[in-house]
Amino acid sequence: MLKILKAGFYTTVQDSGRFHFRNKGVPVSGVMDEMTVFKVNSLLENEVSAAVLEITMTGPTLMFEEETYMALGGAEMSATLNNLPIQNYKVYQIEVGDILSFGRLDKGFRSYLGVREGFTSKQILGSRSFYKPITKENRLRDNDVVPFIDSKLFQPKISEIKVDSFLDDNKLEVSKGPEFHLLSDRHLEEIFSKSFTIAHENNRMAYQIKETISSHEMSMLTSATLPGTVQLTPAGKLIVLMKDGQTTGGYPRVLQLTDKAICILAQKRGGDKVNFKLV
Amino acid sequence: MNPPKINIKSFGVHSVLIEWPHEVSEHILETILRFQTYIRFNILSDKDWEMVPSYNSLLLINRKKTIDFEKISKDINVGYSQLKESEKPDRYLWRLPVSYDLEFGLDLDEVAKKLNKTIPEIIAMHTGTTYTVYGIGFLPGFMYLGGLLKDLEVPRKATPRLKVVKGAVGIAGKQAGIYPQESPGGWNIIGNCSVPIFDASKENPCFVNVGDKIEFYQISRAEYNLHKIEAEVGIYKPEKIKLNA
């Protein structure tokens, strides 16, 4: 078990997501930054779908109650193991009673904790990802425990990797969304020539863009959306749907973020700047 | 009837969107459902594919691969030209019980006043028609129902409620629906459905599919309470009738 001594701002269990229920309105959920989690799980020689902790903005304080191996990745949150600083993308051997805690957020917004073979909390509809009301809670609370299987004899093939960090990237590559063709020249000019600010309304469901662009009167019938879909409201607000985003929507889907752009955006917080680039 | 024209669009690298003419129509919905069944059996039988139908569109999503858009578009076009009227997917009519008790029907009074009707007239109109499920989304198990009587159209509330309870039956504009769980919401609430529409503990968490039909019938407060207890112990089954059998 991993004991949550202090839960931090918003800490959840996430895996690769909940599939085959989008036709019933269930969001796919899963880790926001797939590229980082792929690296963390690779270091631990885990399945791609192994569940990790997604740690947002302010990290938790955690106590390991079993032996295992762990690795961190993503945001730089001044992590310490038994009060000694540790690095991202490096495998650490864990003894019973070890304490992992986090300090100042230096870069990025979401950090990921992986353990050997992943967390083994209960699967609901084929996934361990937190999403209320599919799961009882939307996030971990103080004194919760998250199960994992103890691991003593793991010898990592690679114990440390250097990664090309994208935490400073602010270019979001996009393809055309289904309603892209309805945009006016003025809209195109506004979307692709400016830099935008991430609004404080940002979470696992959606990231809103602070600046508005020209209003419009395009109409469509409610249709399916995806993580990374950029909707344009009639008032000219851009909303980027993320992993817990609704599965259908009635606002024009003007752009679609690439998988990498979703990861880049997942590491942004209110006030950060981004720009869109059509590929 | 000739099959309505389709338009195939790439939507990110994992998805393909098939669009039908921009209209709310039974014929289009029926065609989408038939084609969805055809695709599932003949084109994309692989388990990594998911499909989301809604009003005039069908989204095909591959959870892992970057798809070959040209190839899939071709398969879709060929498949669509071979689609037969006879391949009918199973569709069901669900009869759902609603208590219009004033404790649940928070806006019944206001809706009746706005429409210049009595509360029994509102209830009679709401229960006196068959609705079509054109989409499921917004929340897990939230149905977009078409077929609300014109005389029951009333604008959404000027100020949305921060908390609408689970099971709340609402109307807004041309739309009707049920809140499958507690959430914020701006629809006019006229009753509460005693049947849980979404239950994550079940293998199939939502018994309704896009394309199914819904009818509401009025129950007393006592019957409502009984259904709730039956639902809790898992013995309540909503009434279902097979369509186009």
- Least Cα distance to B56 among A221, A72, A213, A264 occurs for A221
Contacts B16 to A, Cβ<8 Å: none
- pLDDT digits 0-9 by tens, A15-62: 999 999 999 999 999 999 999 999 999 999 999 999 999 999 999 999
- pLDDT digits 0-9 by tens, B164-196: 999 999 999 988 999 999 998 889 999 999 999
Spell out the residues 6+ positions from residue A250 whose beta carbon is closer than 8 angstroms to its own. Answer: A220, A221, A222, A223
* Residue A96 sits in the same domain as residue A187: no
pLDDT band at B245 (very low <50, low <70, confident <90, very high): low
β-pair partners for B242: B92
- Least Cα distance to A26 among A138, A183, A144, A134 occurs for A134
Contacts A138 to B, Cβ<8 Å: none
Contact B54 A134 (CB under 8 A): no
Q: Determine the residue among A49, A248, A255 to mutate to test chain B binding: the one whose Cβ has the most chain B Cβ atoms within 10 Å.
A: A248
The parent domain of residue B61 ranges over: 7-81
* Residue A13 sits in the same domain as residue A141: yes
Contact A221 B24 (CB under 8 A): yes
* Residue B142 sits in the same domain as residue B228: yes
Mean pLDDT estimate for chain A: 96
Look at residue B159 in the predicted model and tell me its pLDDT.
86
From B17's Cα to the closest Cα of chain A, the distance in A is 8
* Residue B73 sits in the same domain as residue B40: yes
Does B50 contact A at CB distance below 8 Å? Answer: yes
Residue of B nearest to A228 (CA): B12
Q: What are phi and psi of B113, to 5 degrees?
A: -65, -45
How far, in Å, CA of A37 to CA of A42, rounded?
8
Per the domain annotation, does B176 fall within a domain? yes
Per the domain annotation, does A189 fall within a domain? yes
| CA A199 centroid distance within chain | 17
Task: Quote the tokens at residue A146.
Answer: 């998250």
Per the domain annotation, does A114 fall within a domain? yes
Residue B1 has pLDDT above 70, yes or no: no
Number of domains in chain B: 2
Contacts B138 to A, Cβ<8 Å: 25, 246, 248-249
Three-state secondary structure call for residue A144 = coil
Per the domain annotation, does A76 fall within a domain? yes
Per the domain annotation, does A164 fall within a domain? no
The parent domain of residue A27 ranges over: 2-146
Strand pairing class (B213-219; B92-99): parallel
DSSP for A10-75, please give it.
EEEEE-S---S-GGGT------S-HHHHHHHHHHTT--TT-BEEEEESS--EEEE-S-EEEEEEEE
Number of domains in chain A: 2
Q: What is the CATH number of the domain that holds B21?
A: 3.30.1360.40
Domain end: B57, B81, B105, which one?
B81
Query: Which long-range contacts link B28-33 to residues 24+ away (Cβ below 8 Å)?
Result: B28/B4, B28/B55, B28/B56, B29/B53, B29/B55, B29/B132, B29/B134, B29/B210, B29/B211, B30/B211, B31/B3, B31/B4, B31/B83, B32/B56, B32/B57, B32/B58, B32/B211, B33/B89, B33/B91, B33/B210, B33/B211
* Residue B211 sits in the same domain as residue B187: yes
Contacts A17 to B, Cβ<8 Å: 63
Per the domain annotation, does A56 fall within a domain? yes
pLDDT band at B231 (very low <50, low <70, confident <90, very high): confident
Mean pLDDT of B39-48: 88
Domain end: B51, B81, B111, which one?
B81
How far, in Å, CA of A186 to CA of A190, rounded?
6
Per the domain annotation, does A187 fall within a domain? yes
DSSP for B68-109, please give it.
-HHHHHHHHHHHHHT--TT-PPP-EEEEEEEE--TTT-TTHH
* Residue A200 sits in the same domain as residue A129: no
Contacts B56 to A, Cβ<8 Å: 221, 223
Contact A224 B205 (CB under 8 A): no
Residue of A nearest to B8 (CA): A178
Find out whether A89 and A114 touch, Cβ atoms under 8 Å. Answer: no
Q: Determine the residue among B10, B37, B136, B207 to mutate to test chain A binding: the one whose Cβ has the most chain A Cβ atoms within 10 Å.
A: B136
* Residue A19 sits in the same domain as residue A139: yes
Per the domain annotation, does B163 fall within a domain? yes
Does B198 contact A at CB distance below 8 Å? Answer: yes
Find out whether A233 and A239 touch, Cβ atoms under 8 Å. Answer: yes
How far, in Å, CA of B192 to CA of B185, rounded?
14
* Residue B110 sits in the same domain as residue B192: yes
Domain end: A87, A113, A146, which one?
A146
Contacts A246 to B, Cβ<8 Å: 137-139
Per the domain annotation, does A162 fall within a domain? no
How many A-B residue pairs are in contact by the CB < 8 A criterion? Answer: 112
* Residue A141 sits in the same domain as residue A6: yes
Q: Determine the residue among B50, B67, B69 to mutate to test chain A binding: the one whose Cβ has the most chain A Cβ atoms within 10 Å.
A: B50
* pLDDT by 10s per residue, chain A, length 279: 999 999 999 999 999 999 999 999 999 999 999 999 999 999 999 999 999 999 999 999 999 999 999 999 999 999 999 999 999 999 999 999 999 999 999 999 999 999 999 999 999 999 999 999 899 999 999 999 999 999 998 999 999 999 989 999 999 999 999 999 999 999 999 999 999 999 999 999 999 999 999 999 888 899 999 999 999 999 999 999 999 999 999 999 999 999 999 999 999 999 999 999 999
- pLDDT digits 0-9 by tens, B114-140: 999 999 999 999 999 999 999 999 899
Spell out the residues 6+ positions from residue B137 whose beta carbon is closer than 8 angstroms to its own. Answer: A25, A222, A224, A246, A247, A248, A249, B52, B54, B144
- Partner-chain residue, chosen from A17, A26, A228, that has the shortest CB–CB distance to B140: A26
Residue B213 has pLDDT above 80, yes or no: yes
Contacts A245 to B, Cβ<8 Å: none
What ipTM, to 2 d.p.?
0.94
* Residue B222 sits in the same domain as residue B123: yes
Helices B119-127/B108-115 angle, 10° precision: 90
* Residue B207 sits in the same domain as residue B140: yes
Percent helix / strand / coil, chain A, rounded to 5: 10, 35, 50
- Partner-chain residue, chosen from A17, A224, A228, that has the shortest CB–CB distance to B59: A224
Per the domain annotation, does B86 fall within a domain? no
Mean pLDDT of B21-34: 94
Per the domain annotation, does A153 fall within a domain? no
Contacts B59 to A, Cβ<8 Å: 223-224, 226
Residue B90 has pLDDT above 90, yes or no: no
Q: What is the CATH number of the domain that holds A256?
A: 2.40.100.10
* Residue A43 sits in the same domain as residue A141: yes
β-pair partners for B135: B144
Q: Cβ-count burial of A92 within 10 angstroms (0-12 exposed, 13-18 middle, 19+ buried)?
A: middle
Per the domain annotation, does B87 fall within a domain? no
